[in-house]
Amino acid sequence: MNDSRTLSPLDRFITEVDKALRSAFPTTSRTAARPNPAATQIQDDLDTQERQLSGRLMRVNLAGEVAAQALYQGQAFTAHSDSVRSGMAQSAAEEVDHLAWCEQRLQELDTGTSKLDPFWYLGSFAIGALAGIIGDNFSLGFVAETERQVVEHLDRHLQRLPAGDHKSRAILEQMKQDEARHGTIATHAGGSSMPEPVRTMMRLTSKVMTETAYWV
């Protein structure tokens, strides 16, 4: 993503709009760079209630991935150094896999995406851009704390998934590994510890999004 240094402000704006449209709206053409972890799992045998629960949980996780894309892209857009900008863009690219996997699983579960995905994207992009403006160490610390909270969230969803939903479980387990790795990379790159008020705000924001996306 270092090519962004040669782009005009208008070019960068158009690029961000294109990323937003591709991230915030579902598409059957999205492809992952890595194989879907669910592909090797046996076909689940879920009853109606279990399928509905799995669908809603995976819809929440897709909304979270839309927000994650926006956070990384917002932070990359306002990063002070090229190395941080490149790192943010790389993490966002890796998490496109999560988007593709969650979308495919939702289709299998016959569950729609959150109608508020564009809203999650815009709000998260603004938060990410603000974190980047504050400074690279703060922005990296924000990533580390975000990923720590995401790992906790995924643990809760893994506990709530129906026992027979092996496909969704495989996806969430791989996502959990990736998120933990991204958080570790951000910490080692110089991420600063987030003040408790910031961590609390992040938890509350996440709670609003996850509880709303579960139903809408």
pLDDT per residue as tens, the chain (216 positions) = 444 455 565 565 555 555 555 555 655 557 889 999 999 998 778 999 999 999 999 999 999 999 999 999 899 989 999 999 888 888 888 888 999 999 999 999 999 999 999 999 999 999 999 999 999 999 999 999 999 999 999 999 999 999 999 999 999 999 999 999 999 999 999 999 999 999 999 999 999 999 999 999
Sorted by sequence, the CB contacts under 8 Å of residue 116 that are 6+ apart come out as: 63, 212, 213, 216
Q: What gap in Å lies between CA 133 and CA 137, rounded to an integer?
A: 11
In this predicted structure, what is the pLDDT of residue 18? Answer: 56
Q: Is residue 172 part of a domain?
A: yes
Q: Is residue 83 part of a domain?
A: yes
Q: Is residue 82 part of a domain?
A: yes
Task: State the total domains in the chain.
Answer: 1
Q: Is residue 126 part of a domain?
A: yes
Q: Is residue 173 part of a domain?
A: yes
User: What's the CATH number where 162 sits?
Assistant: 1.20.1260.10
Q: Is residue 39 part of a domain?
A: no
Range of 182's domain?
Answer: 8-21+45-215
Q: Is residue 35 part of a domain?
A: no
Q: Is residue 37 part of a domain?
A: no
- CB-based burial label for 164 (10 Å; 0-12, 13-18, 19+): middle
